[in-house]
Structure 1
Amino acid sequence: MAGGNALEEPEVDAGFEFAFDNDAFSDKLLRIEVFGSDNEKSSDSSRILMGTPILRVNTVNVNSAILAAKSPFFFKLFSNGMKESDQRQTTLRINDSEENAFMEVIRFMYSGKLTPTTEPTLLVDILMAADKFEVVSCMKLCGQRLMGLPMTPQSAVSCLDLACSVSMPAALAEAAKKFLAERYKEFLSTKFQDELMRIPLAGIVAILSRNHLVVASEEAVYDFVLRWADCQYPNSEERRKILGSRLLPLVPIMRAMKNVITINQPSYKLYINLERERCSRLFLSGSEYCRQFRFMGHLFVLSAHCNMDSSNSFGLLLEMPVEDKELVRGTIDYKFEAKTRLTLEFDTKYESTCTIGSREDVRCKDLFSVPWTNFIADDSPFFIDDILHLRIHLKIVY
């Protein structure tokens, strides 16, 4: 990470190192109850985790005036008339993943210094603990240190996650975004796929937010986003929310189709005009190829048919290749619509829902619910100036 003057703040020796954990200069005994990392985290460290076993207990002698001067959290803890403010022993409850960082923050409040480290993840942990206990000077120093260290994918993502909950300097967040965008500039390359599938949402958003991605096609970006969301969010409701609100708006093909696509439920309308003469040939051939098209990275093949049953009828078949159906979980809602001379408006003639991956196709054997002779007759209401107007309406729901 490049250095930034806005973050630079020299370490200040607070001059109280001699008093740390020294009974002679302390008026409080801080009892630290450490719980497992899987427990729910809370910004209120005195919150009792009922029924949760304590892994271990540490005790530290502290001076309440020193801690209160550096931290509004401890100022309130020691002065607001709570039980902890009247007793010599005060209890805090933290997760074991926070333990080392919390002790660094306590020592910092005495000395104004941090233990020398070149490990970005440790500095991120300390910064999170400093934010939790409202030690602003420690947060600033952690930011300064982070800006002076080389970034890693893990530390970059951690910095971006912090930006949602911690008052992070803009320069640090921007450095993390720049690192991720540069590292994964060719993010569809095979060598990055396993690594990218493990990167959390904040990192993927940062990568997609950059406009200079080197990709084979916009559809490839869309397909990657679907695969990543499918891997990270097995719950369909949560996946749909993340795709619609955070990811799909960043995909180039979605931005280009914003007048057609509803982001949280991508939809598409395909218009087909068939001449009466071409429809007539269906009676002899049985089927007639109409259209092959792609929508949201999936290939669709639409064909018209004369179904040779007892009455014969006009029908439509919409197919997807097997490999496309297996790309992602979700459903596709279909509507087959047609104009008539009676209204000159598109009316829904058939609708269905298909699960992607089920390998089923959508088939309507009798679109107009009339025999073939009525459909193709000169006075048929389905032809306007000898043209059959069809519309296929698709909506993908993840």
Structure 2
Amino acid sequence: MALPLSAIKAVLSSDELHVGLEDVVFDFALEWAHAKYPNLGERREILGSHIVPAIRFSSMSTHKLRAVFECEDIDPSLASKLVARAFIVNAEEAELKHCVAECAYKLPPLKVIQLAESLAKCLVFLDLRQEQCAALFPTGYMKSQVFYLSGNAFYLRVQCNKNDESSSHSFGLYLGIGERLDTVFTQYTFAYRLKPSRRFRTTGMLEYQFVKGQTSEYGFANLFKTPWTSFIAGDSPHFLNGLLHLRAEVAINTQ
């Protein structure tokens, strides 16, 4: 643990470093930082500026990514970005491996990462093929597989909505919950990736109270604020390699 900062950076950045998972590297870096920088503020600065860029977070286990998110030694905003980026990279790698395979799911599968048990918060990723979206026209809908947060079964619902006044159609995205005995207060945002940046664009925060004893859904009737024809067009910016990438960040408000 007597190694200087320059040496630690060289070791962590080396392609000759062979470990089963990057979890070991992260734990070693934290142990070194605690030994060299007992002051929390200084330790956060060193880790964030010099050590974190050398760690391959996408090679960590989900369990360790959760620990990263909750780690007090890393600035919370930075930790959130690191975890989300790692999960996106893993999702993209899986997409490349399976992009030619036809999915036969009746319910679209989700990729879920729980961000913090104490905050009852998670990130949910849903990818849909362009032909799946096109098949929703004119008034079809599709529910995802369920995901659980604090014992509550949630799902995402996509739908082709028709505006009765203008006869136009749009793409809708909603958060839904199964019947519950207790009322659940939620806060959540949706996001979707766009060309050419390939970055997620986030919607405004939604707050909704799911009332006990009822099955309900709440979200955006026109997520992209664009007509259906523009959304589904061949040159649409919403499909990357034929896939629509959606994300929801969901939190249960316990107050």
Q: TM-score, normalised by structure 2?
A: 0.50
**Change in CA separation of 1:330 and 1:285 when aligned onto 2, cut-off 3 Å:** closer
Structure 1 partner of 2:205: 351
Residues matched between the structures, number:
142
Structure 2 partner of 1:340: 194
**Change in CA separation of 1:330 and 1:279 when aligned onto 2, cut-off 3 Å:** closer
Q: 2:174 aligns with which of 295, 317, 331?
A: 317
Note the residue ranges of structure 1 that are not aligned, 5 or more in a row: 1-253
Superposed counterparts of 1:226-241, under 5 Å:
none
Structure 1 partner of 2:232: 376
User: Quick one: which amino acid aligns to residue 172 of structure 2?
Assistant: G
| Shift in Å, 1:262 | 2.9
% identical equivalent positions: 28
Larger relative CO (CA 8 A, sep 6+): 1 or 2? Answer: 2
User: 1:315–1:363: 8 Å Cα contact kept in structure 2?
Assistant: yes
Q: 1:279 aligns with which of 127, 133, 145?
A: 133
Query: How far apart are the structure 2 equivalents of 1:389 and 1:357?
Result: 29
Superposed counterparts of 1:1-398, under 5 Å:
258=67, 259=69, 260-309=114-163, 310=166, 311-323=168-180, 326-327=181-182, 331-357=185-211, 359=214, 360-398=216-254
Instruction: Write out per-residue CA displacement over residues 24-48 of structure 1, whole angstroms, 9 at most, x where no aligned residue.
Output: xxxxxxxxxxxxxxxxxxxxxxxxx
User: 1:350–1:364: 8 Å Cα contact kept in structure 2?
Assistant: no
User: 2:130–2:232: 8 Å Cα contact kept in structure 1?
Assistant: yes
- Which structure is larger by alpha-carbon Rg, 1 or 2? 1
| Shift in Å, 1:288 | 2.0
Instruction: Write out per-residue CA displacement over residues 344-398 of structure 1, whole angstroms, 9 at most, x where no aligned residue.
Output: 1111135311124365531210000000000001111111111000001101121
User: 1:349–1:368: 8 Å Cα contact kept in structure 2?
Assistant: no
Query: How far apart are the structure 1 equivalents of 2:250 and 2:204?
Result: 12
User: 1:337–1:350: 8 Å Cα contact kept in structure 2?
Assistant: no
Query: How far apart are the structure 1 equivalents of 2:204 and 2:129?
Result: 21
| Shift in Å, 1:267 | 1.0
**Change in CA separation of 1:255 and 1:345 when aligned onto 2, cut-off 3 Å:** closer
User: 2:188–2:205: 8 Å Cα contact kept in structure 1?
Assistant: yes
In structure 1, the residue corresponding to 2:119 is in which secondary structure? coil
Query: How far apart are the structure 2 equivalents of 1:351 and 1:287?
Result: 23
**Change in CA separation of 1:255 and 1:377 when aligned onto 2, cut-off 3 Å:** closer
In structure 2, the residue corresponding to 1:381 is in which secondary structure? coil
Query: How far apart are the structure 2 equivalents of 1:370 and 1:318?
Result: 20
**Change in CA separation of 1:371 and 1:352 when aligned onto 2, cut-off 3 Å:** same
**Change in CA separation of 1:319 and 1:348 when aligned onto 2, cut-off 3 Å:** same
Q: Normalized per residue, which structure has more strand?
A: 2
User: 1:293–1:301: 8 Å Cα contact kept in structure 2?
Assistant: yes
| Shift in Å, 1:317 | 2.1
Query: How far apart are the structure 2 equivalents of 1:346 and 1:393?
Result: 12
Query: How far apart are the structure 1 equivalents of 2:173 and 2:136?
Result: 12
User: 1:303–1:316: 8 Å Cα contact kept in structure 2?
Assistant: yes
Query: How far apart are the structure 2 equivalents of 1:273 and 1:363?
Result: 18
User: 1:291–1:303: 8 Å Cα contact kept in structure 2?
Assistant: no
In structure 2, the residue corresponding to 1:375 is in which secondary structure? helix
Instruction: Write out per-residue CA displacement over residues 96-136 of structure 1, whole angstroms, 9 at most, x where no aligned residue.
Output: xxxxxxxxxxxxxxxxxxxxxxxxxxxxxxxxxxxxxxxxx
Q: Normalized per residue, which structure has more helix?
A: 1
Q: TM-score, normalised by structure 1?
A: 0.33
**Change in CA separation of 1:285 and 1:393 when aligned onto 2, cut-off 3 Å:** same
